[in-house]
Homo-oligomer: A and B are copies of this chain.
Amino acid sequence: MGNKNFRLKISYDGTRYLGWEHQPGKDTIQGKIEMVLARMIGLEPNQEEFFGDNPPVDVIASGRTDAGVHAKAQVANAVLDTNLSAEEIRDYLNTYLPDDIAVTDVKEVSDRFHARYNAVGKTYQYTCFEGPVKPVFNRKYYTYLDSPVDVDAMQKAAEYLVGEHDFKSFCGNSHMKKSTVRVVDKIEIKRSKGYIYFTFHGTGFLQNMVRILVGTLLEVGAGRMSPSDMPGILEAKDRKVAGPTAPAKGLCLVKVDY
């Protein structure tokens, strides 16, 4: 026996969850995984323990995702006192987790691996659909646009946002005390068969940042803002001058770099 550090890759449909982070009495992805792992290592956990200073199992993700946001490959780590193999842990988790959360991979890693501190980049994808008929089967994974948007204008606006900037205007947490400077090195916007895919890559993102970026770009796409408004919005460092926060359902964390 003895403590081993495991890296987990996790795919989830965030629709019915209050987000990644565990909260007393709420359905969260972290909460579901921690409860299953606690049972796996022989504990009979009660929810309250997980919110003390010394939780029985602590699953640390690359970052929180908001309520309703999805992930194809969230990465987390957990230090576990177990003799089970990585594959056995994966199978145990998938047996007991609800079918909207899947642990796609488990690997034993160095004690030093920390899913949040060691993350050096993240890719998010935001999906919209425009057209007269809303697709049915993936309806929980895109945001519907009532009228067509100008992708070229949005891409032009995006160029102003790429780079190292103070993204305070794009931060959903008005009480944020720490630095709001972030590096976004790619924003790519593609239209295909009625869908519009926004891909963001950066070293890290502030709370709601991708959704506010999308909401602002969609204002440009609809002609209510212009690409050349972007520098002024960054400059203002004021959430109120950026566009609205796009709905959670269109957002998916697709990759975390280490």
Give residues in A with beta carbon < 8 Å to B.
11-13, 70, 87, 90-91, 94, 99-104, 132-139, 141
Contact = CB atoms under 8 A, between A and B. Distances in A.
B99 A139 contact: yes
B94 A132 contact: yes
Contact of A101 (B99, B101, B136): B136
Which of A13, A100, A102, A136 is the most central at the interface, judged by chain B CB atoms within 10 Å of its CB? A136
Contacts of A11: 135-137
Contacts of A134: 94, 99, 102
Given A11-B136, A12-B136, A13-B139, 14 more contacts: A11-B137, A70-B137, A87-B132, A90-B132, A99-B134, A99-B136, A99-B139, A100-B139, A101-B136, A102-B133, A102-B136, A103-B133, A137-B138, A137-B141
Contacts of A136: 11-13, 99-102
Contacts of A91: 132
Nearest to A93: B133
Nearest to A70: B137
Contacts of A100: 136, 139
A7 to B, nearest CB: 15
A139 B134 CA distance: 20
A91 B133 CA distance: 8
In the A-B complex, the 9 residue pairs with the smallest Cβ-Cβ separation, listed nearest first, are: A11-B136, A102-B136, A104-B133, A99-B139, A13-B136, A102-B133, A102-B134, A100-B136, A13-B137
